[in-house]
Amino acid sequence: MMSPDDDTMPDVIALLQTLDHPVPPVTAESVMIRAGAAAPARGRVPPLARWAAAIVLAAGAAGVAYALPGSPVPRWIAALTSRLEARPERQPREAGGAAARARESAGIAVAPGRDLVIVFSASTPGALARVTLGDGAEVVVRSPAGGATFTSDAGRLLIQGPGAPDTVTIEIPRGARRVEIRAGGARVFLKDGASIDTGAARLGDGDFEIPLARPPSQDPR
C-alpha cells in the first residue's frame, strides 16, 4: 500500500484518468485560423516585426526624400537645426537621458502575484489613471504619451512622471487577488478579490477614472 506522502502518485493518476474524455482533434493550424490568421504560413507577422518594418520603411522613405534633387527636406532640416541651436541650452536631466528613457518606457506588463501595489510617485494635477478590468493574466500599464517611467520589484510597481495631459491606462486581470493603486501618498483604488474600493468615477464602459492629484480633504490611508 502506498504511503499518503509518497512523491509519486500513480494510483491518483489512474483514478483521475477514469474521468477523461477523448482529446478533441484540434490542430495548431485550426487554432491559428480561429485566431484570425487566414494563411497558415508567412501570413501573420508578429506585432513587433510590423513595428520594425514600419520604422525601417519610414527611415528609408525619409532618406530618399532627403536625397532627391530639388527636395525641400534638406532645407527643412537645416531650418529646424538652426532653430534648435538658437534655443537656450537646457540643463541635462539625469545621466543617460531620462527623457529618452521615458519615451522608451511607455508601457509595462507585470504579473499581479498575490499582492501588487502600484504607486504613482507624485501627486500630478491634471493627470489621470484609467483602470480597466480585463481577462488577461498580467497587469498592463501604458502611458500613451510616453511621459512615464516604470520601476518594478516584488509586489510593487513604481510609476514616475506622468504629467498632464497624460492618462495612464491600467488593465487589471479580473482574477487578480489584490491590486492597490496609490497616488500622492494615498490609496485611490483597491481590488481585493472580487470587491472594488475606490472613490473614483465609474465610466459608462465600466472603467474607473482616477485623478492622480489628491484632493486636500482626502485622508491618506
Partner 1 sequence: MQGSLHDSLGETAASFQEQFTATFDANFARLYRVLDRLSGEPELADDLAQEAFVRLYRRGSLPDAPAAWLVSVAMNLFRNARASQGRRRRLLTLARAAHAHADASPAPDEAVVAEETRRRVCATLDGMPDRERRLLLLQAEGFSYREIAAGLELHEASIGTLLARARRLFREEYAGGTDDES
How far is the C-alpha of 146 from the C-alpha of 166, rounded, in Å?
8
Q: Measured between alpha carbons, how far is 121 from 183 in angstroms, rounded to an integer?
A: 7
Give me 53's grid cell.
Answer: 518594418
CB atoms within 10 A of CB 118: 26
Q: Which of 121, 144, 169, 177 binds partner 1 (CB under 8 A)?
A: 177
Nearer to partner 1, 39 or 95 (CB): 39
Length of the chain: 221
Q: Give, as ranges, the residues between 68 and 87 that touch partner 1 (CB under 8 A).
A: none
Which residues neighbour 213 within 8 Å (Cβ) at sequence distance 6 or greater?
A: 123, 124, 125, 126, 127, 183, 184
3-state DSSP call for residue 188? strand
The neighbouring-strand residues paired with 181 are: 118, 189
Provide the minimum distance between the beta carbon of 57 and partner 1 in the complex, in angstroms, as a whole number. Answer: 8
- Residues 102-121, interacting with partner 1 (CB under 8 A): 111-114
- Per CB under 8 A, which of residues 51..70 are in contact with partner 1? 52-53, 56-57, 60
Site for partner 1 in 1-40 (CB under 8 A): 2, 4-7, 9, 11-13, 15-16, 18-21, 23-24, 26-29, 31-32, 34-37, 40
Cis preceding-peptide flag for 165 (omega within 30 of 0): yes
Question: Contact between 220 and partner 1 (CB under 8 A)?
Answer: no
Which residue, 77 or 137, has its beta carbon nearer to partner 1?
137
Q: How far is the CB of 158 from partner 1 (least distance, A)?
A: 21
DSSP single-letter state for residue 211: E
Query: Cα–chain-centroid distance for residue 176?
Result: 16
Shortest spacing between CB 109 and partner 1, in angstroms: 10
Q: Give the interface size with partner 1 as a residue count (CB under 8 A).
A: 54
DSSP code of residue 203: P
Q: Is 175 in the site for partner 1 (CB under 8 A)?
A: yes
Binding site for partner 1 (CB under 8 A): 2, 4-7, 9, 11-13, 15-16, 18-21, 23-24, 26-29, 31-32, 34-37, 40-50, 52-53, 56-57, 60, 111-114, 135-137, 173-175, 177
